[in-house]
Structure 1
Amino acid sequence: MDLLFLLDFLRNLAANNHKAWMDEHRADYHRARGVFSSLVQQLLNETQRFEPALLGLTVPETMFRINKNDRFQQSQEPYKRRMGASLTQGGRHAPRPGYFIAVEPGETWIGAGKWHPEPAALARIRQEIHYNGPAFREIRTAAGFQRHFPDGPQGDRLQRPPKGYDKADPDLEWLKLKDFVVTQSFSDAEVLRPDFVARVTTAFQAAQPFVRFLDAAMQAPE
């Protein structure tokens, strides 16, 4: 698995982000995508050992396209500068929490949780945190979780308490969140280490109670 080739390809793509260059280097793109696919397969194999909800999930169901989505395009560059995948029950577009990886030179990161849950799901997550604050705090303060995700859940948040919640609620800062995602960054040197897959899956396993808490809340009946 030549992760150095993958990083080099993405670095060159960032410097030449236009269709003519991609057409000329299409073979390199397919080789780089193959490397990333192998990485995701290894991560999926290891993660399925402790996350049975992902059994049956295939690599093609997890990987995002490198082409930008025009609806969200903020520049004229037609391609993303990273390759990414979402290890989520039901595949990358499923409305459930999961585990993520994005490889990008100098900015590789992994994550777990749920970004932009739908309003009804967000309401259920907030309700679960409110009802089961001690359990949520225990997850956030667990040693393994703190080691990999010391900042806890991050994302967009409200300026004021969400409707129906008191400003004195002990979990108010978490109730204000509109995203529930934890992340960990890796340098290029760390990506190239032989234990990179092991380090990522260890972090995913540390995040599993957080992912399961969110999933149970989101799947709870109205």
Structure 2
Amino acid sequence: MVDQKRKKTVKRHVKPNSNQVDPIQEQASSTASPKRRRVQKSKQTSKRSKSESDGSEDWAESDQESVEGEVTAAAQEDMKSAVIDIPRPKGSPFADALSPDTLEFMAQLAENNNRDFMQLNQERWHAAKQDFTDFVGLIIKELQSMDPTILVEEPKAAVYRQNRDLRFTNDLRPYKIYLSASFSRGGKKSPFAGYHIAVAPGNKTMVAAGIWQPSSSILSRMRTGIMENASLMREALSTDAINDIFGKGGLEVLESSDKLKVAPKGVAKDHPEIEMLRFKSMVASKYFDDVDVVSEGFLDKVLDVFDAVVPFVAVLNSWTG
């Protein structure tokens, strides 16, 4: 059972107001300033030139606004609606959950994954990002009391950037369609085992812990730990809290999507711990429905998962860190 001493957090989210969101700035065309002529012009010539110049600038600005208006209108016409209906419980948004508006925005981003959509919805994007960052801050505050090894940092430092890395892929969609953050003793970019949350509409929000696709050196140390004392891991994955949260225990809790079908190189196929040694990643994860994510009490559900896997993360870091 989860430690009853842990207090529920009742801190309210801080929503951005209009003056916290930078408006989209129009790109003004830059023109070089002409050198001052040595010949002095008459006041009448200067006034006429200024009048003509102002007139041409007005026409240029008018044309620019017209073009931008047409582009904006075209982008809005091409915008698709979200195909997922986001639940909106009475009384939402709640202080200890995500706002339905955040899931609504992410659902629409999934259907309009392009820069035009993001530019047209900057204010909504900033609000969704702030909502998630506030929630991450609540997690950090409570998680550190469960696992004192966790690095305490600003919430935004734990949140991953939204832009996708397009260098080595044929999928050129510019943005991730989920919001995510990680917590470990070295921060989100460290190689240590830790805790993770990814919020995505469509009942795909994931709360997880462990280590995902580690480097060859860390994987080697992890397998050495298994061969020397696999009982530590079996014990960490067989607690009452694990069974209560995941509905099962032992190696069945772990993700097996990248598990080897054969014995690792250099390991005998009849090794007594061959099942555990075939895991390349060691991750325990639980998924939540959209209604959970936007309902009162979601923070405690996330923390219950993290509380249950603290021993699991501790064993991994004792082997690999």
TM range (shorter): over 0.9
Report the TM-score, using the length of structure 1 for normalisation: 0.93
Report the structure number with the largest CA radius of gyration. Answer: 2
1:124 to 201, 213, 221: 221
Q: Is the 8 A contact 1:62 1:88 kept in 2?
A: no
- SS of 1:52's partner is coil
Residue 24 (structure 1) aligns with:
120
Aligned-pair Cα RMSD in Å: 1.5
* Per-residue deviation, residues 13-59 of structure 1 (Å, max 9, x unmatched): 11111101100101110000000001101111110111111243221
Residue 147 (structure 1) aligns with:
244
2:231 to 111, 124, 134: 134
Q: Distance in 2 between matches of 1:93 and 1:71?
A: 19
Residue 218 (structure 1) aligns with:
320
Give the deviation of 1:197 after TM superposition.
0.5
Q: Distance in 2 between matches of 1:71 and 1:115?
A: 21
Q: Distance in 1 between matches of 2:138 and 2:235?
A: 30
Q: Give the aligned residue type for 1:152.
A: V
Unaligned runs of 5+ in 2: 1-12, 14-92, 94-98
Unaligned runs of 5+ in 1: none
Q: Is the 8 A contact 2:139 2:303 kept in 1?
A: yes
Give the deviation of 1:112 after TM superposition.
0.2
* Per-residue deviation, residues 72-107 of structure 1 (Å, max 9, x unmatched): 545232111100001122221111111000000021
Give the deviation of 1:171 after TM superposition.
2.4
- SS of 1:54's partner is coil
Q: Is the 8 A contact 2:136 2:155 kept in 1?
A: yes
Q: Give the aligned residue type for 1:182.
A: A
Residue 200 (structure 1) aligns with:
302
Residue 109 (structure 2) aligns with:
13
* Per-residue deviation, residues 117-175 of structure 1 (Å, max 9, x unmatched): 11111111111111112221111121211333433222412221113323223321220
Q: Is the 8 A contact 1:110 1:183 kept in 2?
A: yes
Q: Is the 8 A contact 1:63 1:86 kept in 2?
A: yes
Residue 289 (structure 2) aligns with:
187
Q: Is the 8 A contact 1:97 1:211 kept in 2?
A: yes
Go from structure 1 to structure 2 and tell me whether the alpha carbon gap of 1:117 and 1:110 turns closer, same or farther (over 3 Å shift). same
2:259 to 157, 168, 184: 157
Percent identity between matched residues is: 32
* Per-residue deviation, residues 175-206 of structure 1 (Å, max 9, x unmatched): 01111111100000111221111111111011
- SS of 1:94's partner is coil
Q: Distance in 2 between matches of 1:34 and 1:140?
A: 34
Report the TM-score, using the length of structure 2 for normalisation: 0.65
Q: Is the 8 A contact 1:95 1:117 kept in 2?
A: yes
Aligned positions, number = 219
Q: Is the 8 A contact 1:57 1:90 kept in 2?
A: no
- SS of 1:181's partner is strand
Q: Distance in 1 between matches of 2:123 and 2:305?
A: 33
